[in-house]
Amino acid sequence: MKERAGPSPGGFTLVELLVAIAVLALLAVVSWRGLDAMVRAQQQTGAHTDAVLTLQTVLDQWETDLNAVQTLEHTTPIAWDGQLLRLTRRSPQAEDPGLRVVAWALRSVDGSDQWLRWQSPPVATAAQWQQAWDQAALWARTPSAQTRRGETVLLPLAGWQLFFYREGAWANALSSASAPRPVDGGAQPVATPAVTLPEGVRLQITLAPGGALSGQITRDWVNPTLGGNKS
């Protein structure tokens, strides 16, 4: 009586091959999804880190500008009109004793609202200061190729607001108390420290939606000369 022949040693049936291929395909899909998720997580972490560093750098520049505000006769130390902040500050270069006019504004750039900073060349006379002050206003609304040379695009913003601290309270920076006092005849403004330079400045910015960072951020600055501790 003949014995039945069994499967060849070391061989695979068609069913076994199909099962092995299916398992390998499943492992490949799972591995690809895992790698894709890891790459996406790394990209999101990198984007968040970059956004935080950019925001911190911008806010540090904001505080540096305020710390360098200069109060002189026939100049306006700081002025806010609801869209544009202009200030007169000491030059950042130690070897340059002059002043600069610095402006911060929110304006559409290439179809998106961007927070911008502009600074003038050094000014040494009242006439040069007035020209730079007027150029800052033009730059914020109708910029030309020339005025754009002094601008830096900072980051996308949905909106921003300023408040000044005076006489023990925060108030909208557009109030009459923040306006410079004109000289007789309505000529150039005279900077009166108690009137034009607040004890504190509160910045509120609303970050543009859809980015790595979102929401509202508040940053308070205390005038190191006039202010105390404000909260």
Which residue pairs, CB below 8 angstroms and at least 24 apart, start in 179-187?
179/79, 180/76, 180/79
- Residue 2 forms part of a structural domain: no
**Residue 206, token pair as written in the block:** 């609303």
- Residue 100 forms part of a structural domain: yes
Q: Say whether pLDDT at 159 is over 90.
A: yes
At 226, is the secondary structure helix, strand, or coil? coil
- Residue 38 forms part of a structural domain: no
User: What is the arithmetic mean of pLDDT over 31-40?
Assistant: 72
Neighbours of 224 (CB within 10 A): 8
**What backbone torsions phi and psi does residue 170 show, to the nearest 5 degrees?**
-85, 140
C-alpha span between 69 and 100 (Å, rounded): 10
User: What is the arithmetic mean of pLDDT over 166-171?
Assistant: 90
Q: Which residue has the tokens 């859809």?
A: 210
C-alpha span between 152 and 201 (Å, rounded): 22
pLDDT over 70 percentage in the chain: 79
- Residue 201 forms part of a structural domain: yes
Residues 6+ apart with CB under 8 A from 68: 89, 90, 92
- Residue 78 forms part of a structural domain: yes
Q: What is the pTM of this model?
A: 0.73
Q: Which residue has the tokens 């205390």?
A: 222
Burial of residue 65 (CB within 10 Å: 0-12, 13-18, 19+) is buried
**Residue 85, token pair as written in the block:** 């902040």
* pLDDT digits 0-9 by tens, 194-218: 346 899 999 999 999 888 888 999 9
Higher per-residue pLDDT: 182 or 74? 74
Count how many domains the chain has: 1
**Residue 30, token pair as written in the block:** 């799972």
C-alpha span between 121 and 144 (Å, rounded): 16
- Residue 160 forms part of a structural domain: yes
Give residue 210's domain range: 45-222
Q: Which residues in 28-64 are b (16+ Cβ under 10 Å) and which e?
A: eeeeeeeeeeeeeeeeeeeeeeebeeebeebbebbee
Q: Say whether pLDDT at 178 is over 50.
A: no
- Residue 39 forms part of a structural domain: no
- Residue 37 forms part of a structural domain: no
